[in-house]
A and B are shown apart, each in its own frame.
Chain A
Amino acid sequence: MFKGVLYIFLFLVIGEIIVYLFNLSIAGNIVGMVAIFIALKFKIIQLKDVKPASDQFIKYMVLFFVPYGVGLMAFYDILKMHWIAIVVGTVLSTILTLYITAIVLQKFGKNE
């Protein structure tokens, strides 16, 4: 478990360093996510070393974004002003995304 936490923070640091060195516009932890994926794929690190820790982070992930959801209250006035654009855009786009993904896979995916 401890080794896994160490690895996760190591890749977080690696991600931040890469972003700094190459002046990228992507967040450091997303680069870290891609880096740990590559490290696992090329067997640089072992899945069994990192999985106990990563599973715990993912298990409690929803708890970690509750404070961001609460932050919505500070934007009540702005949301009230633009709610039509937000709701219409989000609902139509979600239906479109659902349909297009499903129809592409239904038409071209292999059915086992």
Chain B
Amino acid sequence: MSEIYQQPFFGIFITLLAFHWSKIISRKFKFVLFNPVLLSVVSIICFLVIFKIDFEAYNIGGQYLGFLLGPTVVALGVLFYEKYEQIKANIWPFVSAVLIGGTLSIISVSTIALVLGAPEFIIKSIAPKSVTTPIALEISTSIGGVPYITAGIVIAVGIFGNAFGPAILRALGIKDKNAIGAALGTASHGIGTARALDEGKLPGAYGGLAMCINGFLTAIFTPYIINIVFSLFS
């Protein structure tokens, strides 16, 4: 029986199956915790734990799906180009807001975690928490983080932004809907942008653009920012 788990098709098949069911459930119940990625991840983990299957056995197949994130990052470059064409006239105030927010995201999460005593590899894993998952995984790997921890945190940040972002911003006195959209895209990538679309079409577009710009900037700047934070606090 255990030989079946060791075949690549096993990991691929249960991922496809879990994702298929998760999408059906998330479409039926419009509840934030029923996000397709979260549901897929949780249901696969439950399955593996119940049947006592190691992650390594699952990942024999899982890694083939994960590999496709490589070309997906390149495909994001195409999406960024399309978004860039839409806003190039009014790009500077927007890029500045995203740059300030995105940089503060890296500095604040790494500083707080460092002060609270987290080890270096955890800080490097959570530093790119606000950008879209494929880019965050690459950043994490290249600066010495653990991509699995990064994936979990990035998905959690997306869901947090999606669930509480607009309420927090309104409580803090933000009224401009486009600003709310851009903030959701900057702080909580695609999952947050989904919520920005609920605010309206334009805020949704701002969220998508902010996600793209922050992905670009964070990919380039994170290694340098992390080095500065570590040299300041140690």
Contacts and interface: CB of A to CB of B under 8 A. Distances in A.
Interface of A: 5, 8-9, 11-12, 15, 25-27, 29-30, 32-37, 40-41, 47, 50-51, 53-55, 57-58, 60-75, 78-79, 82, 84-86, 88-106, 108-111
A63 B15 contact: yes
A72 B137 CA distance: 13
Interface of B: 11, 15-16, 18-19, 36-38, 40-41, 44-45, 48-49, 55-56, 58-59, 62-63, 65-66, 68-82, 84, 90, 93-94, 96-98, 100-102, 104-105, 108-110, 112-113, 116-119, 122, 126, 129-130, 133-135, 137-139, 141-143, 146-153, 155-157, 160-161, 165, 168-169, 172, 174-176, 178-180, 182-184, 186-188, 190, 210, 216, 219-220, 223
Given A94-B188, A102-B179, A8 B74 contact: yes
A102 B169 contact: yes
B175 to A, nearest CB: 7
20 contacts: A27-B142, A33-B74, A70-B55, A70-B59, A72-B45, A72-B148, A74-B148, A79-B149, A79-B152, A82-B119, A89-B108, A90-B109, A90-B156, A90-B157, A95-B168, A97-B130, A102-B172, A105-B97, A105-B178, A111-B176
B74 A66 contact: no
Nearest to B154: A65
Q: In terms of DSSP, what is the predominant structure of the interface of chain B? A: helix
Contact of B94 (A15, A37, A73, A109): A109
B188 A105 contact: no
Nearest to B64: A67
A92 to B, nearest CB: 6
Contacts of B90: 110
Contacts of A37: 77-78, 80-81, 84
B159 to A, nearest CB: 11
B65 A94 contact: no
Contacts of B152: 69, 72, 79
B112 A89 contact: yes
Contacts of B169: 98-99, 102
Contacts, number: 313
A97 B72 contact: no
B77 A66 contact: no
Contact of B176 (A36, A41, A47, A106): A106
Contact of B182 (A54, A71, A101): A101
